């Protein structure tokens, strides 16, 4: 029985690493995956010029009472666009367990550069809250006639929403985008889990604060007001709810002061948020397909230094990847029939190069019985192939996409497709693959790429899209991130389940995000 926990992070007295301005911090959360290895779970937004950040983005994590869940929080000063944190200044971090956080109502620790070496006076505060409610609040807010705060232009307004904690403190629940140079802004629609928003209490005080954004971090308050969810809910359709935005000092000084602008709640809706398990228990099947790279760059399977060489104890990187990922996924597929394909080899009898041949040599029925069936087919076919090239991913992605597109016609959340590609990483048809992934992002499917061997996997990391949205050659963006890339070499000495955990971590989120976009309940 899993409890979901939401972690809020704030820091104080961060080190200054920027010359002439304050640091631009971001917090990253890592989880111990065994064997002294850490996998990134998530990261917050970056806050510019701030030594005392309160991060708006929350971490959601599954809490298991029976496991010691080691966590590492790292604060980085981000001064570039790259996703990689190795080129950013480290402002300190802490290691702790999830148990320590949930068992203390407020968990504050000094930040450390490394064990025993403090990061100046920097501290981190993490507060945890159990998520018991699956409902979500959707809000649309605009303002008019806001006070002008900038000497040369109009104000650059943004919103912050706070809830009052049981101790009476205000805790940030949402921070909007900044709208430049506009006294009548209309912010984009946003959603906050009901639990985060008000702990499920419709009468809990909510403070809405509007401020003028300054790039040096010294934002000026325009005004604020207090309300609660019961009041906000009256908004909708043609009757928005309006509040005067009040600046307390101005109100004290001037008898005639009315407000510093009007904030209008255009709509406030509460909807249920479905989880991965809701979909699975509702009957969604996960269809698993495997694609195996048989190109020449893997090396001759008879030679011990080949990635396809089967060792005396009967394994190689390809087999380990098939086993560890397949053994988890197979539980979610009732018929246990998995299509398996190879690409990049010359195939008998004509010895033509094929980029999607059935591992069982039966193109009309490429299904293998269970994960063991895939392993047996792989072992049988290996001596009969000539490893060749080029390395083309797009045919096999398009193959699975055709099935996913066909299942779409059912118009419900009943079929989802996961394609596992295992490769040594030298991709030839990068442009066609980008297009295939962008097309597939509109379909109920996810792609997992496991990179084996010691190659440079830059192209794979690019396809993963973590560093920004993947675009096709024509500039069309993927509608959602569906590719997860994992280098096998990171898991050489780690326990088997570490690979499958890392590889499959994204699939539930991707499945839920797809059905949410479609608006389909379980």
pLDDT in the model for residue 466: 65
Asked if residues 277 and 515 have their Cβ atoms less than 8 Å apart, the reply is: no
Q: How far is CA 378 from CA 143, 293, 341, 466, in A?
A: 63, 11, 9, 32
329 neighbors 418 (Cβ within 8 angstroms): yes
- For residue 243, list its beta bridge partners: 263
What is the DSSP secondary structure assignment for residue 246, as one 8-state letter? B
Strands (E) across 315-454 are located at: 337-343, 345-347, 352-354, 357-358, 367-369, 386-387, 415-423, 445-451
Give the chain's end-to-end CA distance (angstroms, integer). 20
- Collapsing DSSP to helix, strand or coil, 14 comes out as coil
Residues 112, 119 contacting (CB under 8 angstroms): yes
DSSP reduced 3-state for 257: coil
Answer for the pair 132, 247: CB distance below 8 angstroms, yes or no. no
CA 4 to chain centre: 16
Residue 513 C-alpha from the chain's centroid: 10
Distance of CA 37 to the CA centre of its chain: 20
Give residue 149's pLDDT: 87
Q: What is the pLDDT of residues 397-424, one digit of tens each?
A: 999 999 999 999 999 999 999 999 999 9
Strand 262-272 versus strand 241-244 pairing type? antiparallel
Predicted confidence at residue 111, as pLDDT, reads: 98
- Decide the pairing of beta strands 345-347 and 285-293: unpaired
Q: Are 312 and 303 in contact (CB under 8 A)?
A: no
Query: What's the DSSP call for residue 57?
Result: S
Q: Locate CATH 2.60.40.150 in the chain.
A: 3-131, 135-272
Cα 421 to Cα 344: distance, rounded to the nearest angstrom: 13
The tokens for 180 are 């430049």
β-bridge partners, 347: 352
* Positions of the chain with pLDDT lower than 50, given as ranges: 1
- Residue partners of 468: CB distance under 8 A and separation at least 6: 81, 83
Domain span(s) for CATH 3.40.50.410 in the chain: 277-518
Q: Which CATH superfamily is domain 277-518 in?
A: von Willebrand factor, type A domain (3.40.50.410)
CATH 2.30.30.90 fits 135-272, yes or no: no
pLDDT reported for residue 467: 66
The superfamily (CATH) of domain 3-131 is C2 domain (2.60.40.150)
Share of the chain above pLDDT 70, in %: 99
* pLDDT tens, residue by residue, 289-317: 999 999 999 999 999 999 999 999 999 99
């Amino acid at each position: 029985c899993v409890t979901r926990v939401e972690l809020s992070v704030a820091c104080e007295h961060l080190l200054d690493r920027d010359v002439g301005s304050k640091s631009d911090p971001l917090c990253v959360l890592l989880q111990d995956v065994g064997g002294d290895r850490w996998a990134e779970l998530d990261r917050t937004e970056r806050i510019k010029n701030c030594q005392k950040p309160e991060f708006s983005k929350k971490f959601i994590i599954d809490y298991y009472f029976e496991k010691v869940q080691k966590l590492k929080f790292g604060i980085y000063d981000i001064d570039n666009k790259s996703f990689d944190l190795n080129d950013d200044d480290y402002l300190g971090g802490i290691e702790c367990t999830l148990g320590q956080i949930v068992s203390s109502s407020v968990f504050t620790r000094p930040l450390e550069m490394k064990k025993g070496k403090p990061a100046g006076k920097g501290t981190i505060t993490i507060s945890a809250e159990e998520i018991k409610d699956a409902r979500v609040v959707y809000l649309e807010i605009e303002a008019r006639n806001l006070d002008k705060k900038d000497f040369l232009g109009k104000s650059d307004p943004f919103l912050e929403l706070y809830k009052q904690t049981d101790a009476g403190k205000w805790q940030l629940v949402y921070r909007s985008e900044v709208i430049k140079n506009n006294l009548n802004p209309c912010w984009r629609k946003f959603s906050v889990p009901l639990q985060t928003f008000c702990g499920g209490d419709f009468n809990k005080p909510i403070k809405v604060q509007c401020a003028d954004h300054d790039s040096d971090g010294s934002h000026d308050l325009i005004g604020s007001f207090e309300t609660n969810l019961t009041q906000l809910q009256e908004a909708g359709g043609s009757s928005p709810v309006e509040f005067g935005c009040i600046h307390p000092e101005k109100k004290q000084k001037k008898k005639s002061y009315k407000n510093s602008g009007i904030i209008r709640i255009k709509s406030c809706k509460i909807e249920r948020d479905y989880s991965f398990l809701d979909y699975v228990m509702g009957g969604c099947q996960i269809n698993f397909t495997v694609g195996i790279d048989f190109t020449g760059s893997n090396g001759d399977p008879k030679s011990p230094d080949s990635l396809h060489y089967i060792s005396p104890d009967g394994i190689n990187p390809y087999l380990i990847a098939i086993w560890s990922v397949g053994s988890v996924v197979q539980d979610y597929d009732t018929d246990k029939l998995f299509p398996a394909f190879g690409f990049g080899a010359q195939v008998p009898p004509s010895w033509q190069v094929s980029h999607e041949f059935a591992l069982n040599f039966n193109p009309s029925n490429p299904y293998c019985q269970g994960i063991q069936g895939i392993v047996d087919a792989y072992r049988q076919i290996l001596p009969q192939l000539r490893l060749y090239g080029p390395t083309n991913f797009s045919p096999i992605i398009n193959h699975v996409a055709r099935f996913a597109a066909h299942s779409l016609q059912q118009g419900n959340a009943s079929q989802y497709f996961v394609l596992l590609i295992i490769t040594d990483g030298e991709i030839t048809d990068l442009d066609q693959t980008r297009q295939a992934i962008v097309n597939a992002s509109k379909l109920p499917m996810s792609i997992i790429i496991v990179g084996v061997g010691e190659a440079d996997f830059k192209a794979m990391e690019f396809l993963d899209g973590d560093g920004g949205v993947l675009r096709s050659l024509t500039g069309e963006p993927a509608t959602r991130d569906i590719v997860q890339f994992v280098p096998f070499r990171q898991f050489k000495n780690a326990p088997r389940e570490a690979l499958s955990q890392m590889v499959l971590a994204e699939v539930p989120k991707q499945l839920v995000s797809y059905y949410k976009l479609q608006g389909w309940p379980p």
